Structure formats: C-alpha cells, structure tokens
A = this chain, B = another copy of it.
Amino acid sequence: MPNSFGHLFRITTWGESHGPGIGAVIDGCPPLLPITAEEIQAELDRRRPGQSDITTPRKEADTVEILSGVYEGKTTGTPIGLFVRNTDQRSSAYSEMKQAFRPSHADFTYQSKFGVRDPNGGGRSSARETIGRVAAGAFAKKILALAYGVEIRAFVSSIHRLRMPAMEDFPTLAQVEATAVRCPDPKTAEAMIEVIKKARSEGDSVGGIIECRIRNVPVGLGEPVFDRLEADLAKAMLSLPATKGFEIGSGFGGTLLKGSEHNDLFENREGQVRTVTNRSGGVQGGISNGEEIRFNVAFKPTATILQPQQTVDLQGQPTELMGKGRHDPCVVPRAVVIVEAMAALVLLDHAMRQTAQNRAFEFPQK
C-alpha cells in the first residue's frame, strides 16, 4: 500500500503537516534490539527545522515517543508505534493557498486525484511526513550496524552550480556534520552556505545532489529480477519529496565509457573476491558484491519561493500567488539523514529476505 515501505521490515507512515502529529509503525522489527528514544531523537535532530541559519526558521522540537513494541528498552518483535507531535503550526499562512495551486507543488495533483486536500502546510504532501521515515530508519540503521558493521554515509556533494571535488576516503560523520550544509569538503561547504543564503535573500531557492556511500555491506543482498538492490534504492530515493534523479556507480557518466573501460575486473584481495574498480557501485546483477555502494540523488530547488508566481485557482481562473510560510531555501542539507534512513530501510529489508530464502536451510548434498 502506498503509505507502507518494505516487505519484511515494513514501515507505515501517517499524519499531516498541520494535524496532531506524524506517526510511523514498524512491522517486522527483530526482537531484542536494545534501543532508546534518545537514539531515534539523534537522527530526528538532523532533519529538524530550525537547526541552523540556512534552514527554515520554524521551531519544532520533533520529539519522538515510542508508543508500543519496546519493552524494558528492547524491541519485542511486535509492531513499534512511533509518534512525533506537531507543535509550531501556523495554518493562517496557508489561507490563500486553499484557493490556488502553488506551482510545482502537489496541490493540483492531490486535489485532482482525491477530489479534496488538506491545504494546511501541504497536508500529507508535506516533507514533514519524512519524520516517520527517519524515526523508523534509526532502527534499521542500528540493526545493520550491530549485525554487519554497515556504515551509511550520505552527504551533500553539490548545491546549485557548486560541486565538491571527488573524495576517495569514506567521509566520517564528523566531517559531514561539521557544517550546516553537510558537505564534507570544508571549502566547498563554505561556498555552498553562501549560495543558499544568497538564494534566501532573493526569495529564491536552490537544489543539489546528495551522494550516499555504504560500506561493509554483506555480499548477496538484492532480489532479482524485479527487486534488484539498485531498483529498490531507486524507488526509495524517488519516493522522497523533491527528488528528480538517481544513479548508481558510474551512472549517467558511465554511458560515456566503453565496455573495456567500464568493466570492473575481479581480483583476489586478502583472500576475498574483490573488484579492482567500482564502476558497478557495489551492485552487480541486482545483488550487492561487497564493494562500497555508491549512489547519487538529485533534488530540485525548493518549490516554495518568496516571489509572486502565476497560477490558477480552484475554479481554473488565472491568479497570482506569493509564497508565504517559513520555508527552506534549500532542502538538501536536511535531506541527508532522510537519504540515509531510506537506504537503511532498503538494506535491512533485503538482508532479512536474503536470510529467509538463502540462509534458513542447509540441505544434505550428495
């Protein structure tokens, strides 16, 4: 169903921008995982509005409550209910928007699809919905780390026309979190922050690209032919608001190479089958090969801008709309933790599927 994601580690999110709050249910979480609300909160704090001077000034604590499925600090294997209450809502900011469709927002399509919509803050189409993903992703991330030592690191690699230089090393969390823009290259980060501030001062917005790298992924995750690991990652990323593209490994650039240049040769490195290069991006034939998973996600510039824009009203009449509300001039830095959460949800689900089909039974072989 549309508000659920995953097969075995399955999350369902609910709630609207200006309703009582945002919820998520995790079904299928393995039991006996030690987890605290603080650990989930740490992830939520990375997507929280008002966290720095380049995000929306809205102030929401986004405090998570665990309502079920955890007993004496450990998961019980039963569904986990998570809830984050909405606190700083100003519906009045949206009164005009009730009557007209905001350009490049979901107002028109929601209205057309359902015949009705909650206009306050975009209702269900608001990016506040991703709170549930991040909260649930915290469980997945911790399980992957405990079980395999998986590390998932997303970061901002480009903002508008600024692109950070290629980084060979796996960035540390500290490097990513060092600046408000979450680009691990300090010099580029500084310039990016200026670009974002300038856009805001002009009532405009910018987009960018998030790169995600994942290491210590076990070989064998991914379920061809349809549920390839990269297919599920692509779906996960394109299910995020404002995303317009996904590429893994060599991506679109790989089309510029010949086969003899693109192929990842195999070698035996310290007793392991490894590839010499990693243009595959850690996935071959839809299945993880143990190399670092690397993918990029394109985010368009924020649709809400503080400039008058031509549009039509509910009756289809031409009108003009002036962006209001308190919005991010660039959503990309806050989306880093969301990308990580979605990646974790995909990987854990596939790890559980792999276990179920391919590790559960050992048959006697002649």
Q: Are B248 and A244 in contact (CB under 8 A)?
A: yes
Find chain B residues with CB under 8 A from A236 CB: 231
B-chain residues with CB within 8 Å of residue A28 when the two chains form the complex = 1-2, 356-357
Interface membership of A68, Cβ < 8 A: yes
A78 to B357, CA, bound (A): 10
Is A20 located at the chain interface by the 8 A CB criterion?
A: yes
Binds B, one of A43-51, A56-64, A168-176, A261-269: A261-269
- Docked pose: A101 CA to B16 CA in angstroms: 42
- CB neighbours of A31 from chain B (8 A): 114-116, 357-358
Chain B residues whose CB sits within 8 angstroms of the CB of A204 once the complex forms: 258-260
Given known A-B contacts A68-B23, A252-B244, A106 and B301 have beta carbons under 8 A apart:
no
A251-B298 contact given A207-B262, A239-B286, A246-B245, CB 8 Å threshold: yes
Check if B104 sits within 8 Å of A284, measured CB to CB. Answer: yes
A-side binding surface: helix, strand, loop or mixed?
mixed
Chain A, interface size category, equals 35 or more
Q: Let me know if A352 and B363 touch, CB within 8 A.
A: no
Chain B residue contacts of A138, Cβ below 8 A? none
The residues of B that contact A74 with a CB separation of less than 8 Å are 116, 365
Query: What would 28 A/B residue contacts be, using CB atoms closer than 8 Å?
Result: A1-B7, A1-B28, A2-B27, A3-B78, A4-B12, A7-B7, A15-B67, A25-B25, A28-B356, A76-B117, A79-B124, A101-B273, A103-B264, A104-B284, A108-B273, A108-B284, A108-B289, A109-B285, A147-B360, A158-B255, A207-B254, A244-B252, A258-B301, A259-B303, A267-B318, A268-B316, A353-B356, A356-B356
Apart from A108-B284, A143-B363, 14 more pairs, CB < 8 Å: A3-B25, A3-B27, A76-B114, A79-B124, A113-B287, A226-B239, A235-B238, A239-B286, A244-B249, A246-B247, A252-B296, A352-B357, A355-B360, A359-B360
